[in-house]
Structure 1
């Protein structure tokens, strides 16, 4: 399979002969408000053109409706008849934006040979969760392809650990920038990402959602240094830069 990090959480996957776009966030640099009073967002431009990102896309997955995961620019550019999977409760707003093929992923669904399974996530712990709202992760599987656990905007907490232990995914995608809201951690930081690596057996961990927003507290360099301090190799923990393409197979292959 081929995984391209676009920017932030936005990924483009070539998987089992299909092209999937996850959490499209196309806003130009500094066109949206700050989250931490440090800079307008996003803090970097897209690494490639929107036309290039959308080339070949057949399916879109939207994990939740925060502006850095599904923004107005993406809504404008995506074809309105593209199939979209989302978390239950978000389908009405997506349909109201003109999209005609929207399916809430309540549990498990199949599409063109791909199997998607919704996974729980917690956008922080404690009272901040009410402010952040609900989110989802998902598992993606297809015959002949490595299984993917896309954890999404979540901290490391028991349901995430249970998915890793219970499903033994080949690839785990984490959001690892250590973003904070009023001081509360709302996605994984370096320590939690390292813990995922240590708990994940032979899986390859791909850390994303980094160096794109002003409330991030962990850089790619910070994460690499934390991983190296625990003996985690660069082949075990991949930290792609924006626009980078990774070719990933099952660890045994």
Structure 2
């Protein structure tokens, strides 16, 4: 009897310890490459904008070289293992490529913008949700917000893009801006959601023939966002991986240093690097 009671006590203790460990897991962000992120958030592993192709597998967009221009720093199996959710801001190949469509389980929970509903149906994803505004998923609150992928004629070519704001109890609020230029709408979103972290695609990308109309924030626009970011730390990604991105980690840091923006305020991770949130 004594042994049985001890066994039960150990089981309860072990279960409690595991639950405590699970609950106390700290959130983190890992930059895989470009805008592909792994978020450990609210006890879930979330993959954002998976571009999983090998170096050079996709056509050139800037007339320089094929994309992506660098290899992944980790095995694809490590990226896709034990995923709970995939978030897709839009379906350009640098955010959801053919490799991702083939490698991800078709039954994976996936949240996308309404403009991409037919795309994911065609690709055979059976558990994809086109998010109009916001929803509760598990213990998370997920809000979709608009993003503007350029101006004028180039915006018509780029089509619809979105961002997401993630909230959860005892977790920092995260604003994934998505592919966007700096706009009043983003400024309003920052004021509305008061994020603790803003993830911004700062590659300064431009389509060949439209070099004067960037489709992503570059150095100057990223600094404008930082000026309006309030308490948030800004994490800049989408650099040094595609041939049409003209802003580099080095040029972005140089501009930040000129304006005396601290490295605690603006974080610029390397591929494969993990940031504790």
Which TM class, normalised by the smaller chain length? over 0.9
CA–CA separation in structure 1 for the residues paired with 2:184 and 2:128: 30
The residue number in structure 2 matching 1:55 is 81
* Matches for 1:95-114 after TM superposition, within 5 Å: 95-114=121-140
The residue number in structure 1 matching 2:204 is 178
2:54 matches 1:28: yes
SS of the equivalent of 1:116 reads: strand
CA–CA separation in structure 2 for the residues paired with 1:17 and 1:123: 32
Unaligned 5+ residue runs, structure 1? 249-253
Residue 166 of structure 1 and its aligned partner are, at CA, apart by: 2.2
Instruction: Give the RMSD, CA atoms, in angstroms.
Output: 0.8
The residue number in structure 2 matching 1:204 is 233
* Matches for 1:210-221 after TM superposition, within 5 Å: 210-221=239-250
- TM-score, normalized by length of structure 1? 0.96
The residue number in structure 2 matching 1:19 is 45
* Matches for 1:66-105 after TM superposition, within 5 Å: 66-105=92-131
The residue number in structure 2 matching 1:228 is 257
SS of the equivalent of 2:114 reads: coil
Residue 198 of structure 1 and its aligned partner are, at CA, apart by: 1.4
Residue 117 of structure 1 and its aligned partner are, at CA, apart by: 0.5
SS of the equivalent of 1:144 reads: coil
Q: Could you tell me whether the CA contact under 8 Å between 2:177 and 2:200 is conserved in 1?
A: yes
Larger % of strand: which?
A: 1
Which digits, 9 at most, give the CA deviation of each residue in 1:190-232, with x for residues without a partner? Answer: 1111111111122110000011100011110100010111110
- TM-score, normalized by length of structure 2? 0.88
The ranges of structure 1 where at least 4 consecutive aligned residues each deviate by more than 3 angstroms after the TM superposition are: none
Residue 38 of structure 1 and its aligned partner are, at CA, apart by: 0.4
The residue number in structure 2 matching 1:4 is 30
Q: Which moved more, 1:140-149 or 1:191-200?
A: 191-200
Which digits, 9 at most, give the CA deviation of each residue in 1:10-51, with x for residues without a partner? Answer: 000000101100010001101110001100000001110100
CA–CA separation in structure 1 for the residues paired with 2:181 and 2:159: 14
The residue number in structure 2 matching 1:194 is 223
Residue 236 of structure 1 and its aligned partner are, at CA, apart by: 0.5
Unaligned 5+ residue runs, structure 2? 1-26
2:186 matches 1:140: no
The residue number in structure 2 matching 1:164 is 190
Q: Could you tell me whether the CA contact under 8 Å between 2:115 and 2:160 is conserved in 1?
A: no
The residue number in structure 2 matching 1:251 is none
CA–CA separation in structure 2 for the residues paired with 1:89 and 1:157: 20
CA–CA separation in structure 2 for the residues paired with 1:202 and 1:135: 26
SS of the equivalent of 1:127 reads: helix
The residue number in structure 1 matching 2:147 is 121
CA–CA separation in structure 2 for the residues paired with 1:32 and 1:72: 9
The residue number in structure 1 matching 2:7 is none
Larger % of helix: which?
A: 2
CA–CA separation in structure 1 for the residues paired with 2:54 and 2:156: 29
Number of matched pairs? 248
